[in-house]
Structure 1
Amino acid sequence: MPDPQRLVAPSDTDAAGRFTVEAERQRNDSLDELAGMLQSLIGDNETNISRLAERTGFKRQQVSRAVNGREVPSPDLSDALDVVLPCGGAIRRLRDAADREKRARRLGVVPPMRRPSDEFVPAPEGMLITHGARTIDHEVISTNRREFAALPALPALSAIAASTRARIETGSASDRTLDELESDVDEIAQVYGSAPHLALLGEVAERWKQIESILDGRMSAGTRARVTQLGGQLTYFLGRLAFNTNDFRSARRFAGLAGTYADEIGEPVLIMSVAALQSSIAYHTQRYRQAIAALNLVQQVRHPYMDGRMAAYEARAYAKMGDQESARDALNRMEAASCTMAPMPGETPVGPAAVAMFRSGVAINMGDVDMAQEWAPIAIAGYQRKGGDYTVEESQHAYMSYASKFLIGREPEPEEAARIAMDVIRTAPDELTHTVKARLRQCASSFSPAHHRIPAVSSFLEACRTLPAGGTG
């Protein structure tokens, strides 16, 4: 897997600090092999670069750069060369290999920036700039027309048309490849809530880069819809992984790209999952109004898999804002919309255990002792059954609500609260997520100074102090 810190190979510089010519081009073995083949074919066919330019209809400079290995030729130029230098499609195959190698050397976790839409595009040959307006140089066009009429380029151009149509119809990936990627995404959705994040990151990132490479190619509308949905789902998972490891800058970037894909295809689970992620980022950075606003932006979108989750996220934000009436209304809508559907690519559904977990967590934030006492044990029992809505992360949230309930009310039990919270740290199968660390710190801040002298509380507070950095949401 490429190292994100080495997306561009280091370059030597001269005394003036300028890049050397060699540093401007990353090593590309396939491109070198293609250049060698083209030079050999030119010799075998007793032709030259100028004649190739005439026969293919491409500019001499383009052909020269391909023959001398200075750049990866375009698919159209490669197809034309395959026609005039018959070699059974070997030129196109090497060209595609060189293009993949170029991407592999440059592509890391963060995709390369696309060209800005306002980048200056120079006028093509045959255009004049007069008072800021582009006009046709008829003398150049007339010369070009005479030259074109004398060139045997139409067979090569028609071959390009045929190959272009084939690429559009078959797409940049076969149905089998897309079937496999869709199966991979479904499996990621099944294990996401409980798999170790570092192990999962590599699996998701490799498939995401593959999809991004496919999206750069030409394909039919139906294929593009499939690939775009896969791209959005994998980008969303990367955003969740970044969020859970407290990298909110990356989480925002991935969420923005996933939202672009979601809007393009209009897939409701993806649209709502992205909004939920953006709401979570705002919530855990104490921007509670923004957390509500992110959900309201997609309030017209509905899907039974996500409706309960969206209401739950409303409830927790309203509770932090002190709007208990809205929080309770959202909790009721959450419970009414809860479901036990199998995991889909996106957020996890809100089932019976999650209903109790959210109710008890919101109760803790509102200081509602009776509500916390009622729902926290139900959440623990629900997650112990490991039903369809089970994830390690949210079961840990349930235990933290259960611990915190011993610190509210008239007769707190700090030793029991510390014991339960300490078990969450001690029994965690893998690295704790950012949100669980936040709940642990929230619990730690709830102990009074008098409680700090209790050995169990003191041990728990020390364990919290040694946790890796994370938020306090």
Structure 2
Amino acid sequence: MLAEGEPNGALAELSALLRHVIASKGTNNSELARRTSYRRQQIAEAVNGHNVPSEGLAKKLDEALDADGQVIALRDQADRERKARRLNLLLPRTEAAQDVETADLRLMPALGRRVDAAGLALPIPQVAGDRAAASDPDPVTATGGAEMTARKASEHATDAAGCSLPDLTIDQLDDDLRHLAAQYGAITLPNAYQQAQALLDVAQRSLERTKAPRQLSRLYLLAGEAAALCGSACFDLSLLRPAAQFARTAALYGQTIEFGPLQAFAHGTLAYIAYWQRRPAEGVRHALAAAEAPGVGTVGRRRIAAIAGRAWAHLGETSQARAAMAEAEALTDSSEHDDLHDIDGEFGMTIERMLMSNAATALLLGDAEAACTYAQAALDQYSALPAEQRPPMFVAQAQADLANARLACGDADGAAAALDAVLTLPVSWRGTGVIQRVNSIRLRLVTPAFAQAQALRGYGDAIEDWAAMVPAQADLIRPVAPMTES
């Protein structure tokens, strides 16, 4: 009997193949990690049969081990089996079938037995020694039962084949989501939420219109991406409870299809929602959960490290916060990839956005000079981009951090110059992050050190007027153009 959690089917064959080839070539997981640019943990999970490796990892392993496509073929078969089991499309094995080793299954065609397309043996009445011995059932009963089963199977297959969507419909949804994620910082916050909500609705309705496993897997991912974008927009609009609900929804979609990057992104969002709500310990827990998600590339790990740094700083753990900041800075070589964070935009974490985040973390740690350095570096990076590629809200956040850091350093004139740039931000981009930063500046202005500063006179009232003008939540319920479906 297979132990619970033990790999079987094509996944077991893939594990056996990898172990055999690795041993025969005298290499190891660490060496393969170096040659493939994947993490050792990902290699070990594939070799031990704990997870179906990604297509990219399978291709790299096949090349590194000179496997002539065997790794890729077994990986694809294991992926099909995993999706089919999740949708209950595979027949359960009988005890006898489960007792037969993989080598015995390969002998079955020669013994006149049938093996289905997924590599699963049909029920075997008895097993004798190392061979599967067929019994001699009553031919009339067996024939009638087989015909009835075949007829039902045919009807089920016909129904399933007729319940699918045009691939172009899903391709369009994928393209729309990628475009929204990439342009997130360039469109107004209410508009971003409306578009994400509409795309989530399309994805969820599309899930009800198909039974094709491949399409279901794609649509669960797209629904998760749309939910994640809804969560980001709700956070920026100061709707923190819905933001957390959308993030949890995205995490559950990622869990459904066992896609680590989506789970990592969702836990990262839950982390910063938690520390914004003054629950830093919960924020740290979510950041650590995000870091443990499998299959996350360099950009995703940079995002996780930046968020973790802020969570640790809110918790008052200086050493852990600085370590996370350093890790985020070190992750500049995009040698590892994943299919979510590499979309970039809201799903990514650019160098300039990471520097901006580290500036805010440095302020929490009371390191004003480091905050100035990080904020100015972020603004320099943004300035190097074409004007249309500079996200207004993120640039304003960096300017606000610079103003706050300059105040902490006693530079009233420099703070006023940076604050002037922030106060020109249009209402539709005044999200939670920049509003909280500006309010923090307002609190610093009333301290004795700056209350009488000539350069800052009048800024307190200006900030109060500015912060009172935020995106109207009523904008979120205005109708949007319907999304196309086929």
Contact (CA 8 Å) 2:182, 2:346: kept in 1 or not?
Answer: no
Task: List per-residue Cα deviations over 1:271-294 (Å, max 9, x = no partner).
Answer: 111011101110111111111101
Contact (CA 8 Å) 1:307, 1:338: kept in 2 or not?
Answer: no
Q: CA deviation at 1:344?
A: 1.5
Larger % of helix: which? Answer: 2
Match of 2:440 in 1: 442
Task: List per-residue Cα deviations over 1:445-466 (Å, max 9, x = no partner).
Answer: 1122453344653432223323
Match of 1:464 in 2: 463
- Mapped to 1, the partners of 2:333 and 2:458 lie a distance apart of 39
Which residue type is aligned with residue 398 of structure 1? A
- Write out aligned runs for 1:146-295 (5 A): 165-169=157-161, 171-295=163-287
Change (3 A) 1:323 1:235: same
Q: CA deviation at 1:392?
A: 2.8
Q: Gapped runs of 5+ residues in structure 2? A: 1-149, 471-486
Change (3 A) 1:259 1:197: same
Q: What TM-score do you get using the length of structure 1 for normalisation?
A: 0.60
Q: CA deviation at 1:439?
A: 0.6
Q: CA deviation at 1:227?
A: 0.8
Structure with max Cα Rg:
1
Which residue type is aligned with residue 408 of structure 1? A
Match of 1:129 in 2: none
Change (3 A) 1:390 1:306: farther
Change (3 A) 1:256 1:356: closer
State the secondary structure of the residue aligned to 1:367. Answer: coil
Contact (CA 8 Å) 2:298, 2:333: kept in 1 or not?
Answer: yes
Contact (CA 8 Å) 2:230, 2:246: kept in 1 or not?
Answer: yes
Match of 1:331 in 2: 325
- Mapped to 2, the partners of 1:322 and 1:230 lie a distance apart of 37
State the secondary structure of the residue aligned to 2:458. Answer: helix
Match of 1:110 in 2: none
Task: List per-residue Cα deviations over 1:26-77 (Å, max 9, x = no partner).
Answer: xxxxxxxxxxxxxxxxxxxxxxxxxxxxxxxxxxxxxxxxxxxxxxxxxxxx
Contact (CA 8 Å) 1:239, 1:250: kept in 2 or not?
Answer: yes
Contact (CA 8 Å) 1:312, 1:330: kept in 2 or not?
Answer: yes
Match of 2:396 in 1: 396
Match of 1:306 in 2: 300
- Mapped to 1, the partners of 2:332 and 2:163 lie a distance apart of 39
- Mapped to 1, the partners of 2:413 and 2:397 lie a distance apart of 19
Contact (CA 8 Å) 1:235, 1:255: kept in 2 or not?
Answer: yes
Change (3 A) 1:438 1:166: farther
- Mapped to 2, the partners of 1:364 and 1:455 lie a distance apart of 24
Aligned length: 311
- Mapped to 2, the partners of 1:321 and 1:241 lie a distance apart of 25
Q: CA deviation at 1:268?
A: 2.6
- Mapped to 2, the partners of 1:435 and 1:402 lie a distance apart of 14
Q: What TM-score do you get using the length of structure 2 for normalisation?
A: 0.59
- Mapped to 1, the partners of 2:185 and 2:277 lie a distance apart of 22
Change (3 A) 1:384 1:159: farther
Q: CA deviation at 1:430?
A: 3.2
Change (3 A) 1:190 1:416: same
- Mapped to 2, the partners of 1:351 and 1:364 lie a distance apart of 20
Contact (CA 8 Å) 1:273, 1:347: kept in 2 or not?
Answer: no
Change (3 A) 1:190 1:459: same
Change (3 A) 1:432 1:167: farther
Which residue type is aligned with residue 438 of structure 1? Q
Task: List per-residue Cα deviations over 1:389-429 (Å, max 9, x = no partner).
Answer: 953332222111211121123xx123431342232121447
State the secondary structure of the residue aligned to 1:426. Answer: coil
Task: List per-residue Cα deviations over 1:116-142 (Å, max 9, x = no partner).
Answer: xxxxxxxxxxxxxxxxxxxxxxxxxxx
Contact (CA 8 Å) 1:189, 1:343: kept in 2 or not?
Answer: no
Change (3 A) 1:280 1:159: same
- Mapped to 2, the partners of 1:456 and 1:194 lie a distance apart of 32
Q: CA deviation at 1:165?
A: 3.6
- Mapped to 2, the partners of 1:234 and 1:418 lie a distance apart of 39
- Mapped to 2, the partners of 1:369 and 1:345 lie a distance apart of 30
Higher mean C-alpha deviation, range 238-247 or range 460-469: 460-469
Contact (CA 8 Å) 2:184, 2:345: kept in 1 or not?
Answer: no
Which residue type is aligned with residue 374 of structure 2? W
1:421 and 2:419 aligned: yes
More contact order relative to length (CA 8 Å, sep ≥ 6): 2
Task: List per-residue Cα deviations over 1:350-391 (Å, max 9, x = no partner).
Answer: 333234323322222212133234333211111112389953
Match of 1:358 in 2: 357
Which residue type is aligned with residue 431 of structure 1? W
State the secondary structure of the residue aligned to 1:299. Answer: helix
1:370 and 2:362 aligned: no
Change (3 A) 1:469 1:162: farther
State the secondary structure of the residue aligned to 2:186. Answer: coil
